[in-house]
Structure 1
């Protein structure tokens, strides 16, 4: 449902320089795709967990329809089984106790979360209190992390999609503790290791760019930390982010490397022409608002094609090398 011309279907205000023509062109292509996907998903939505692995992967990679997404994420991530075993866990963690400094950090970050989204603007009509609750309960469930910046954005997107505090809590717990271990701790060790892994993957798969970036003394961490930490939120167009998350919940963190390598490969020519860090950052900024990434359906096809095969074993080996 599009509420008003100036706001998209997820509640985000359109930027002043919003390209209406490009968006309408994308919509006229993508809406028939969504209608087809919905017809297919309608047949399996009540038995997702019994669909064979390769069929499910096929379905998920082609996109989960908006109305089915909350349920699908909950099932394919395995969160549904966990919740069934501990149905009142969220309520328990919401009772506290909470560290005062954690509460304060969350309080400070809440108003900064998606200020351009109508659901996060006024406490009385949106997701501000649910977001506060989820982050408090999560901090209580995972005291070694508590709260750290970045989690507010991830939790906010989960709330926008699922409209449920309980579901958001479980999905956030899964992402932070199982999917992206050590990304959000005090040392962010897992994230630093994955930046080194990405550096190696770029050098081996897109060597010209790998060496060019290295020669300029630019660290991939400078460019890609936000990609991994915020799971491409506020990096790629929102619909594209959701399509990436569809796969993330089923296939795990490997998807983040696929997306990153695809972006870098698509930008190879421009990156090789850049002569300093500023120009490199500009290359990515321009790219993230272009047609290629707005058309999430084509972009998702590209992430499974362009990087070639990328096995979990290869990533594990590289992580061990940098641990």
Structure 2
């Protein structure tokens, strides 16, 4: 899943990928639809506020479900947006000319006034949506999706995300405080990685910051709820993004819903089997794959001058801290540059075949290496067995030689003793013969005397 803060793609998309999510107006993962590129913050200095705040045109089917007040409010939003766009164009035109400053001030004041009315109307509309959520989901679902894609106001984002994920009344919320009192086997790992999650964001900056503490709490609680997944570093970036918008208990509930109901947990399992499947399926989404290459090349071309002057560490820091914020004010600029990149499908197909050939060759080599390693291991085991047998035979040989030496020494001693005994026997025999001769002489003398 490499650490995300160090530029690794980890069982995680890394801070750069998740950082882009922060700039989106709606949680597309909850809705099942692709996100828009509108700015999430309603501010006059946002260069894309006209895209983020514009109300979608209601379809005939949706118009039938809208009340007269809602239709009037949508019409006002569209009218205010057109006026705001006209004033913005007028301001850009005047900034390039040498007209008097009074005209510019009047135009600026008009734009600010229009934006203020637009913000007020947007708040009224979203307040009504939140209060009548079930009715909107049931009767005006298509219009609701379009409004979400255009941008959820910042202060409504927390409750709308919970409503979208159906995470407002989950039983697991009541267990949260008890889970925090328990001990998790992942605590040390979570604590180690917390500082590497959005390290430059003000909420998470600092060792003992509130952001790091609540992030630790949510990750610890989830590791106890889902022991199969436990903790995976990449998931902390999702929780961090939720904590930027809502309190920790609500963030915990939304995260549990994302992991279990929207199957994100399958991507963070230790085997990562589902992640491999998603990557394999993604390869067949040609447009999606093509735009990834286009955007990647556009980013590299845009930063070419800076990157060629940096070493590897400098490049890593540049990708982590500079590039994620280059297109915050105007994300459409990146898309336009991306579509200017020449993409050759035939060349990509050729590279794909080359890559497949290389990978197949590597796989064959790996299989051969594995076979040789197995054979080598068996030979080593055989050598060890033979060495043990040889050592045993050597011990037996040495023991036999020692035994024979001892027997030879004993034989030598016995031979010496035998020689002594033979000599003694010969001496005794000679003494016996002399004694017998003496006896015979005495007997003869005795006979002669009679």
TM-score for both structures, normalised by structure 1? 0.54
Deviation at 1:181, TM superposition (A): 4.1
- Equivalent residue, structure 2, for 1:188: 272
1:177 matched to 2:265: no
1:41 matched to 2:126: yes
- Equivalent residue, structure 1, for 2:153: 65
Deviation at 1:265, TM superposition (A): 10
- Equivalent residue, structure 1, for 2:142: 54
- Equivalent residue, structure 1, for 2:239: 155
Deviation at 1:37, TM superposition (A): 3.2
* CA distance in structure 2 between the partners assigned to 1:88 and 1:272 by the alignment: 52
1:19-66 residue CA offsets vs partner (Å, 9 max, x unmatched):
xxxx94616645747655333202222222332233332332222111
Cα distance, 1:57–1:131 mapped onto 2, change above 3 Å: same
- Equivalent residue, structure 2, for 1:26: 47
Question: Do the aligned partners of 1:159 and 1:165 also contact (CA within 8 Å) in 2?
Answer: yes
Question: Do the aligned partners of 1:144 and 1:185 also contact (CA within 8 Å) in 2?
Answer: yes
Secondary structure of the structure 2 residue equivalent to 1:112? coil
* CA distance in structure 2 between the partners assigned to 1:239 and 1:70 by the alignment: 24
Question: Do the aligned partners of 1:131 and 1:159 also contact (CA within 8 Å) in 2?
Answer: yes
What are structure 2's unaligned runs of at least 5 residues?
Answer: 1-21, 23-43, 54-114, 295-319, 329-333, 349-450
Deviation at 1:122, TM superposition (A): 2.6
* CA distance in structure 2 between the partners assigned to 1:206 and 1:138 by the alignment: 32
* CA distance in structure 1 between the partners assigned to 2:275 and 2:145 by the alignment: 26
Deviation at 1:116, TM superposition (A): 0.8
What are structure 1's unaligned runs of at least 5 residues?
Answer: 1-9, 11-22, 214-232, 241-262, 278-323
Secondary structure of the structure 2 residue equivalent to 1:98? coil
- Equivalent residue, structure 1, for 2:176: 90
- Equivalent residue, structure 1, for 2:284: 200
Structure with greater helix share of residues: 2
- Equivalent residue, structure 2, for 1:128: 212
- Equivalent residue, structure 2, for 1:165: 248
Deviation at 1:238, TM superposition (A): 11
Q: Please, what is the CA RMSD of the aligned residues?
A: 3.9
* CA distance in structure 1 between the partners assigned to 2:227 and 2:48 by the alignment: 43
Secondary structure of the structure 2 residue equivalent to 1:127? helix
* CA distance in structure 2 between the partners assigned to 1:239 and 1:159 by the alignment: 23
* CA distance in structure 2 between the partners assigned to 1:71 and 1:144 by the alignment: 29
Deviation at 1:154, TM superposition (A): 0.9
TM-score for both structures, normalised by structure 2? 0.40
* CA distance in structure 2 between the partners assigned to 1:165 and 1:46 by the alignment: 23
Which residue of the other structure, out of 311, 325, 341, is the alignment partner of 1:270?
341
* CA distance in structure 2 between the partners assigned to 1:177 and 1:38 by the alignment: 32
Deviation at 1:72, TM superposition (A): 0.8
Cα distance, 1:165–1:28 mapped onto 2, change above 3 Å: closer
* CA distance in structure 2 between the partners assigned to 1:183 and 1:165 by the alignment: 23
1:131-172 residue CA offsets vs partner (Å, 9 max, x unmatched):
11100001111100110111111111111111x110111111
1:185-227 residue CA offsets vs partner (Å, 9 max, x unmatched):
112222221111111111xx579x49x99xxxxxxxxxxxxxx
Which residue of the other structure, out of 213, 224, 241, is the alignment partner of 1:140?
224
Cα distance, 1:58–1:103 mapped onto 2, change above 3 Å: same
Question: Do the aligned partners of 1:139 and 1:146 also contact (CA within 8 Å) in 2?
Answer: yes
Question: Do the aligned partners of 2:222 and 2:252 also contact (CA within 8 Å) in 1?
Answer: yes
* CA distance in structure 1 between the partners assigned to 2:194 and 2:49 by the alignment: 36
* CA distance in structure 2 between the partners assigned to 1:76 and 1:93 by the alignment: 25
Cα distance, 1:62–1:236 mapped onto 2, change above 3 Å: farther
